[in-house]
Structure formats: C-alpha cells, structure tokens
Amino acid sequence: MKLLKFYLNKSKMHFGGFDQDLNKSKFIIFGAPLDSTSTFRPGSRFAPMAIREAASNIETFSFRAGIDAEEIMIYDAGDLTINENLEKTLEKIGEIVEKITKMNKMPIIIGGEHTITYGAIKNISSNIGVISFDAHLDLRDEYPLGIKWSHATVMRRISEKIGEDKVFFIGTRAICREEYEYAKQKKITYITSKEIMENNTDNIVNRIIRKVTNRIENIWITIDIDVLDPAYAPGVGNPEPEGITTKQLLDIMEKIIKNNINVIGFDVVEVTPIFDRGVTAIQAAKIILETTCLIYKTRFLNA
C-alpha cells in the first residue's frame, strides 16, 4: 500500500461519494491528471475532480447489470502527482496499476489525456490486448513533428509494444493518411462510427470478439470520451463530429464484457471540463459506473 500512499493524494471528495474500505474493495479508482501533450484544447487535468463530482450527483443503479454501484466496493485512491517528466509519470502509473493488480483488485483510471494509457499497460507482462473507444486512432509516429510521446501517438507506441494485432478501435472517424496507411499495412482492426450507426452492433462487435477470444489473455479498455458525438460530449480536447451515442457505446461495452473477455482494468480519458457545462463529466461518470457494474457482475458474481 505504501506505493499508493506515496504517489497519490487522497481527495476529500470520493468518486460517487463512496467512502469505502480499501481492503474490502474490488476496484481501485485513481485520477491521472496528466495534461502536458495536449495540442488543441488543454484542460483534462481538471477531469478527475469533475468526474468525481458528477458521479456523486447521478444515480448509480445499472439497469444493464441489475446492480447498484454503491453496493460494489470502489475505493477512490485520489490523484497521482504529475511529474514534469512525462516518462516518470507514465512509470508511476505503470507501478500503481501493477500494485493494484497484485492486490487482486481492478484498476480504473480517470485521465488526463490519452497518453496515460501507455503507463497503464506498460508493466503488464501477460498476453495483453487493448480495446480503444476513440474518434481517433492515435497511431501517428510523431505528433507534433518530432514528438514521439503524445496523445496522438499513444496507440502507435502501444501497438509497437504489444503487437499491432492486439489493438482494436471502436468509433473511428478522424484519422490522417499516415494512420490510414499504417493501419492497412499492419491489418489493424477498427470499426468506424459510421459502421456502428448503420449496422447491428452485435454483428459489428463480433469482429473484435473473434480476434480476442482464445488468443488474447487479458484486455485493457480505454475510453477516449471524444468517441461520443460532440453533441453528447462537447467538453473534450479534440472534438470530432459524426460520433456515436452513449447508448451505442454502452451496448458495445456490455457485449464485450459479457463475452468472457477478461478485462483487467480500464481508463476514461480526454474529458476537458472547461469546454462545457458539466455534461461530458456526467457522461464519463455514467460510463465508469455502468462499466464497473458490468465487470463486477460478469467477473465477480458469475464466477
């Protein structure tokens, strides 16, 4: 526990208002307010507090899971102190996730910008895949020019680390030529937002499920909130029109989790509260609550 105490500052406000006992908790949530590589609209450093507050002010019962998140033990460990050295910050995130996993608990991270996801998976040695809900592919080699580590390159670095056949994208609609060619060359699986809107979600998600089942042991899920249409989530760093709805996101999430895909943790990133009046933080809080209830039901109640 020392590691958690050393790196994390506990907040007076707890996620969902749940002040739980650490030892009894199955989930540990913490904030990673990293906000140093944003290229358009900064401010994701304010997301953890905004999402905590939002989660404390919406209902926590999940119809999808038939569970109230209040009954699940979710311990809020506070926010990570961000080091000015990006590499050190990612290292710390990796160490915390490792520690939580070794405690047989599941980590949930509130970003911060998308770069934190590399930290989340960096110390996981098992056969791991990443499912990314995102308008973007974040597969550029450098962005801005000369910068290897940023919110726009994070999935490239992850794909290089774990294998291009182990990263999957949902809700794609905003990419550059370089990413398009890279994804094509490496046969990377992505589902566009247009495909989601025009087809039965079940059939579409099966494309990913088939590639995970019996081949990838553990899955980390990352939710860049800009996967939602800006009409639903305007408070993001890089808004992109033609996004999916909250229902489409949660239907897909439910399908993934119920398909015996072993989710070992997840993050929600890129909420930028200063660009709206609180709605994006509420979407993020809802997505965290629903996802946690679905994981709890599948992994802990049906086990």
Smallest distance, Mn ion to C-beta of residue 60, A: 27
- Nearest-approach distance from CB 71 to Mn ion, in angstroms: 33
Examine residue 290 and tell whether it contacts Mn ion (CB under 5 A): no
Tokens standing for 167? 């990263």
Query: What are 101's two structure tokens?
Result: 């996993």
Residues 6+ apart with CB under 8 A from 217: 126, 127, 128, 262
Pairing of strands 167-172, 189-192: parallel
Residue 226 binding Mn ion, by CB under 5 A: yes
- Spatial neighbors of 9 by CB under 8 A, at least 6 apart, are 78, 79, 81
Cβ proximity to Mn ion: between 51 and 135 the closer is 135
Size of the site for Mn ion (CB under 5 A): 5
Nearer to Mn ion, 101 or 150 (CB): 150
Work out whether 79 is an interface residue with Mn ion (CB under 5 A).
no
Instruction: Select 35 or 76, whichever has its Cβ closest to Mn ion.
Output: 35
CB of 63 to Mn ion, least distance (A): 28
- Residue 5 CB, shortest distance to Mn ion, in Å, is 32
d(CA 224, CA 218): 20
| Cα four-point dihedral sign 217, 139, 141, 119 | negative
Does position 136 interact with Mn ion (CB under 5 A)? The reply is: yes
The one segment of 118-126, 134-142, 154-162, 178-186 that binds Mn ion by CB under 5 A: 134-142
What's the one-letter identity of residue 71?
Answer: E
Q: How far is the CB of 76 from Mn ion (least distance, A)?
A: 25
What whole-number distance in Å separates Cα of residue 18 and Cα of residue 68? 12
Q: Are 249 and 227 in contact (CB under 8 A)?
A: yes
Q: How far is the CB of 173 from Mn ion (least distance, A)?
A: 10
Q: Does 140 bind Mn ion (CB under 5 A)?
A: no
Q: Does 267 sit near Mn ion (CB under 5 A)?
A: no
Within 103-166, residue ranges assigned H as helices are: 116-122, 154-162
- Binding range to Mn ion, per CB under 5 A, among 15-23, 50-58, 84-92, 217-225: 217-225
Structure-block tokens of residue 242: 């033609």
Query: Longest Cα pair distance anywhere in the chain, in angstroms?
Result: 49
The verdict on 45 binding Mn ion (CB under 5 A) reads no
Would you count residue 156 as binding Mn ion (CB under 5 A)? Answer: no
The least CB distance from residue 270 to Mn ion, in Å, is 6
134 belongs to the binding site for Mn ion (CB under 5 A): yes
Residue 224 binds Mn ion, judged by CB under 5 A: yes
Q: Which lies closer to Mn ion via its Cβ, residue 78 or residue 237? A: 237
Contact 139, 183 (CB under 8 A): yes
With tokens 């989710």, the residue in question is 263
Residues that bind Mn ion (CB under 5 A): 134-136, 224, 226
